[in-house]
Amino acid sequence: MRDIDVRGKRVFVRVDFNVPLNEDGEVADDTRIRAALPTISFLTEHGARVILASHLGRPKGKPDLRFSLRPVAGRLSALLGREVRFAGDCVGPAARESVGAMSDGDVTLLENVRFYPEEEANDPEFAGEMASLADVYVNDAFGTAHRAHASTAGIAAYIPAVAGFLLEKELASLGMLVVNPERPFMAIVGGAKISDKIGVLERLMSRADCLIIGGGMANTLLAAQGKDLANSLVESDRLDVARGLLEKAAREQVDLLLPLDLVVAPATDVPDRRQTVDPDSVPEGWMALDIGSRSVELFGKRISKAKTIFWNGPMGLFEVAGFDTGTLGVATAVANSDGIRIIGGGDTVRAVNQAGLADRMTHLSTGGGASLKMVEGKKLPGVEALRDK
């Protein structure tokens, strides 16, 4: 974005304002809005007419006021200290009228691009209509860079296209993991299902020096080792895949760490009945919902030796008090590390915020799915669309 003259230009900026709203329809967490402020401020200070576009939620290709971006315009106005106009549409007369009334330095936020099915279909005509609103395209939405949608990739075919500051920062931070991480390189992967992260696990087993696995996906690996996890979340149809991953870790000589103990309970809503047991001692009818203190201690010792840490996925059901100790313990260990600490978006960022440790991390990614795709070595359509543009 620094490489182009934006003064007096209409600049269409794809941001990621897919933020949670509370029951009153107000922004509940403005982290993603704040992440876009450096790009927006740079453009306004350099005399651009800034047209912002984003999705919010899953409106299924039709207008739904529950997913309107109007509340986001109000929050952005407060953060910028200037009025942000809101257009009632992202294409058509309402969008053209709002953009046509702009002066240099103005900011307009368009309505949710996913109110149209053509957005997710990457429809060329729809992309061209959005492009007609502007002179230049800036992609600053890393969280959707792994999607080939009209506003993330298609629009770049029509007007000059560049990366915003947030996208640049994400690519630099995560690219280091792919190209040349400082070693020892530690990867921590959690979450519910192995099936969601097979590719990234295989990639990390070829790249990382040590790999910690927790959460529901650890259950499936433990089950593949012959442990009886009772009613725990286990992907029974993926046990062969899990065995293959264990064998690959042995071949690649990566140090693979699984939980030494588990916090279990008969249901997710009775944390007061929780117990800590060995992986092969889960009571009949109970389920594993967190890692235990011995696991946190082991993981913490290994984390302290790492020079580069990538963490994606919680260690358990951290949203429920009583089942959050493992995730918060790992968060503390990562924060106390002297290494580079990269948090891979989504629930992991929420967990770090919950622990009050966000300011002690090197980089908090704004894109969980996109960060995994990048670490896996996959090309991101939203980035590829900018090449030679």
34-58, pLDDT tens digit by residue? 999 999 999 999 999 999 999 999 9
Region of 152 (left: φ > 0; alpha: ψ -120 to 50; beta: rest) is alpha
Give me the DSSP letters along 214-267: -SHHHHHHHHHTT---TTS---GGGHHHHHHHHHHHHHHT-EEE--SSEEEESS
Whether the pLDDT of residue 72 is over 80: the answer is yes
Q: Which of 32, 197, 203, 341 is catalytic?
A: 32
Active site residue 369: yes
Mean per-residue pLDDT for 3-32? 94
Q: Which of 61, 128, 322, 369 is catalytic?
A: 369
Mean per-residue pLDDT for 54-63? 97
Q: Which of 191, 215, 346, 368 is catalytic?
A: 346
Active site residue 373: no
- Which pLDDT does position 69 carry in this prediction? 98
Distance linking the first and last C-alpha atoms of the chain: 12
Quick: pLDDT tens for 336-362.
Answer: 999 999 999 888 999 999 999 999 999
- Which pLDDT does position 278 carry in this prediction? 97
Quick: pLDDT tens for 200-241.
Answer: 999 999 899 999 999 999 999 999 999 999 999 999 999 999
pTM, two decimals, is 0.91
Tell me the percentage of the chain whose pLDDT exceeds 70. 100
Whether the pLDDT of residue 388 is over 80: the answer is no
* Cα 371 versus chain centre, distance: 6
How does residue 301 score in pLDDT terms, banded at 50, 70 and 90? very high
Whether the pLDDT of residue 368 is over 90: the answer is no
Quick: pLDDT tens for 100-109.
Answer: 999 999 999 9
Quick: pLDDT tens for 143-175.
Answer: 999 999 999 999 999 999 999 999 999 999 999
- Which pLDDT does position 178 carry in this prediction? 85
Whether the pLDDT of residue 118 is over 90: the answer is yes
Whether the pLDDT of residue 389 is over 80: the answer is no
- Which pLDDT does position 143 carry in this prediction? 93
Active site residue 300: no
Q: Which of 85, 193, 294, 389 is catalytic?
A: 193
Which residues have a Cβ under 8 Å from the Cβ of 244 and sit 6 or more positions away? none
**Residue 178, amino acid:** V
Quick: pLDDT tens for 231-278.
Answer: 999 999 999 999 999 999 999 899 999 999 999 999 999 999 999 999
Mean pLDDT of the chain: 95
- Which pLDDT does position 195 carry in this prediction? 86
Helical spans, DSSP H, in the chain: 31-45, 70-80, 92-100, 117-120, 124-131, 165-179, 198-207, 216-224, 239-252, 293-303, 325-336, 346-354, 368-376, 381-384
Mean per-residue pLDDT for 99-120? 98
Of 54, 39, 303, the closest CA to residue 170 belongs to: 39
Mean per-residue pLDDT for 184-210? 92
- Which pLDDT does position 224 carry in this prediction? 96
DSSP run (H or E) holding 108: strand 107-109
Domains identified in the chain and CATH numbers: 10-163 (3.40.50.1260), 171-376 (3.40.50.1260)
- Which pLDDT does position 179 carry in this prediction? 87
